[in-house]
Amino acid sequence: MREENVVLPCNSPSSLSSCSDVTWFYSRDKNQNTQKKVWSGADDQISHRVSKFNVSSSCSLIMEYVDDDDAGLYTCRPGSDASSDGFVYLNVLSNYPPYFSRSSKTFYCSLRRYDGLDLCPENSFRWLDETGTELTEGVWLELRGPTVCLSSLTVKDQSDKNRNYTCQFVEGNRVKVEIKHTPRRFKGSSSGIIHLYHRAGDEAVLPCNRPSSSDSCSSVDWIYQRNKNMNRKQEVHGGMVQSSPRSARMSLDRNCSLIINNITAEDVGRYSCGYNTDVYLNMMIISSSPPAVDPTKNEEITLFCSLLRSSSLESCPDKSFLWLNETGSELTGEGDGYKYGGQFGCVSSLTVNLQSRRRFTCQFVEGNKVKIEAHYGSEGPPASSPLSFIMLTLKITGLILMVGITVGIIRTRGRKKPQKDVNVRFSVDDDSVNYENDGERSAAAALH
């Protein structure tokens, strides 16, 4: 389950005296050509998520604070012989803040897993109320993708705010994992709350709003909390960035704003600088299933647009995601080469036939204001665009004309004596360029 610690067994041979020869690999999907090494006894911990991994005395992989990105296939290799590999599939069950309408609210529950397994069965999700009674009305299996399965429960909005619901993932009649939706009060915005929106890899600058009378950052502390269930962590104390796996990407500017370079999903959450300012860092990503396709083969893929944010916030409002094509036209319903998959919490999907040089844009909006957008596909118009064909033809024709004129001038100027009745003709399609020399003028051109 998300936000928990897990232990993945290695099943190492009893003859193994230590974990120095053990290596752990990670793979998200079957299309990856190489596995990523996440832990090695020989190289010590080697990963951009190094703080997440450790090993036990039996060489089992210990993962701290599991999230959706950790789902996949993990391989334990004792020594260098791949024939003794042990495989562990990690599935991550997550819940999202409910979506509220006038008379109802909808809860979402998703299972992230390795791309290479069978699709989730129809009845793989079960919803229970606070008494343990199974609910059947309002339950839907929204998505059965290769990497994610999504279920929802819609209930009438009641005055009893203490009701809670449990989502279970089952195989047969056996519960594999469950997660509980607990009551949560909405926290409205105020002048001391700032929302920042970025894409993965961006540089984020988190303002501190300290008093202008302060001359230094020696009294500034930055506190980070991914969600309300996670312990608060001090990233900056007394103006100094504290040692952590993320410290190399953090710094303060002269206004004591916190700068985070090359942001990742690990950076999403709530930051407080101590001057009555809370900054929520949100990140948008676009992924595809399958993740790697040949755009020239016009394969069908599903694009997932996600807004990662602190779980202490409310779920994304309905219709807060927009999909656009390369011309800026909004894609809704089903059309030529695409099918809109709808929005579930803070995730929206679009299934497309990926043509050469096609580009799709996902926007997150609040009201009529675009907060952030992300793109999938090549820049520029598609290769089949009539305008691009016309422009390409004009460019080629112009280039041929320039070459012809230049060659004629160079040849004429290169002769020591003017020659009479010299005609040079260069034909471009049905147009002719005629160069004439009458012995007096150096060159002349006539178009016919």
In three-state form (DSSP H/G/I as H, E/B as E, the rest C), the secondary structure along 73-100 is EEEEEECCCHHHCEEEEECEEEEEEEEE
Task: Answer yes or no: is 127 within a domain.
Answer: yes
Among residues 57, 90, 123, the one where a domain terminates is 90
Does 227 fall in a domain? yes
Of the chain, the percentage scoring pLDDT greater than 70 comes to: 71
Is the same domain home to 78 and 116?
no
Single out the residue of 90, 119, 414 nearest to residue 289, CA to CA: 119
How far the first Cα of the chain sits from its last, in Å, is 78
pLDDT: which is higher, 430 or 445 = 430
Predicted local confidence at residue 421, as pLDDT = 39
Domain of 398 in residue numbering reads as: 392-447
pLDDT on residue 108? 87
Per-residue confidence band for 267, with pLDDT thresholds at 50, 70 and 90: very high
pLDDT value, residue 432: 35
The mean pLDDT of 124-129, rounded to a whole number, is 92
DSSP state of 29: B
Number of domains in the chain: 4
Q: Is 155 a domain residue?
A: yes
Residues 177 and 100 in one domain: yes
Q: What is the pLDDT of residues 269-315, one digit of tens each?
A: 999 887 667 899 999 999 888 876 666 677 788 999 999 988 778 78
> Do 225 and 242 sit in the same domain of this protein?
yes
pLDDT value of residue 161: 62
pTM, full prediction: 0.48
Question: 10 Å Cβ neighbour count for 233?
Answer: 14
160 pLDDT above the threshold of 70: no
* Cα–Cα distance, 204 to 217 (Å, whole number): 19
Cα gap 20→115, rounded to integer Å: 30
Whether 370 shows a pLDDT value over 60: the answer reads yes
Same domain flag for 96 and 58: no
State both tokens at 434: 């005629």
Helix (H) or strand (E) holding 406: helix 386-414
Higher pLDDT, 406 or 293: 293
The average confidence (pLDDT) of the chain is: 76
- Of 66, 90, 114, at which residue does a domain stop? 90
Rounded to a whole number of angstroms, the CA Rg of the chain reads: 30
Between CA 194 and CA 361 the distance in angstroms is 25
Rounded to 5 degrees, φ, ψ at 404 are -65, -45
The closest of 352, 316, 346, 345 to 331, measured between CA atoms, is 352
Please indicate, yes or no, whether residues 267 and 197 belong to a single structural domain of this protein: yes
pLDDT tens digits along 28-75: 887 766 678 888 887 754 444 445 688 888 888 988 767 778 889 999
Mean pLDDT confidence for 359-373: 90
Least confident range from 243-247, 302-306, 325-329, 382-386: namely 382-386
pLDDT at residue 377 in the model? 74
Judge if 126 and 172 occupy the same domain.
yes
Rounded CA-CA distance 378/376 in Å is: 7
409 is a domain residue: yes
| Cβ count near 365 (within 10 Å) | 15
82 and 103 belong to one structural domain: no
**Residue 124 Cα to chain centre, angstroms:** 27
Comparing 180 with 372, the larger pLDDT belongs to 372
**For residue 46, what is the domain's CATH number?**
2.60.40.10
Least confident among 163-172, 227-236, 247-256, 364-373: 227-236
Assess whether 199 and 177 both reside in one domain. Answer: no
- Residue 67 falls inside a structural domain: yes
Q: Which of 244, 277, 310 is the last residue of a domain?
A: 277
Domain contains 420:
yes
User: Rounded to whole angstroms, how far apart are CA atoms 261 and 435?
Assistant: 61
pLDDT at 366 over 80: yes
Tokens matching residue 105: 């609210």
What is the pLDDT, as a whole number, of residue 429?
Answer: 37
pLDDT at 14: 60
Q: Which of 98, 85, 128, 92 is nearest to 110 (CA)?
A: 92
- 164 shares its domain with 230: no
**Residues above pLDDT 90, as percent of the chain:** 23
Contact 379, 359 (CB under 8 A): yes
Per-residue model confidence (pLDDT) at position 156: 83
pLDDT class of 391 with cuts at 50, 70, 90: very low
Residue 214 lies in a domain: yes
- Which pLDDT value is given to residue 378? 53
Question: Is 44 in the same domain as 65?
Answer: yes
pLDDT band per the 50, 70, 90 thresholds, residue 192:
low
| Residue 217 shares a structural domain with residue 152 | no
Residue 411 — pLDDT band, cuts 50, 70, 90?
A: low
Tell me the sheet residues that pair with 447: 433
For residue 366, is it within any domain?
A: no
Rounded to whole angstroms, the Cα distance separating 329 from 335 reads 12
- Residue 169 has a pLDDT of 93
Question: How much is the pLDDT for 212?
Answer: 59
| Residue 175 and residue 234 in one domain | no
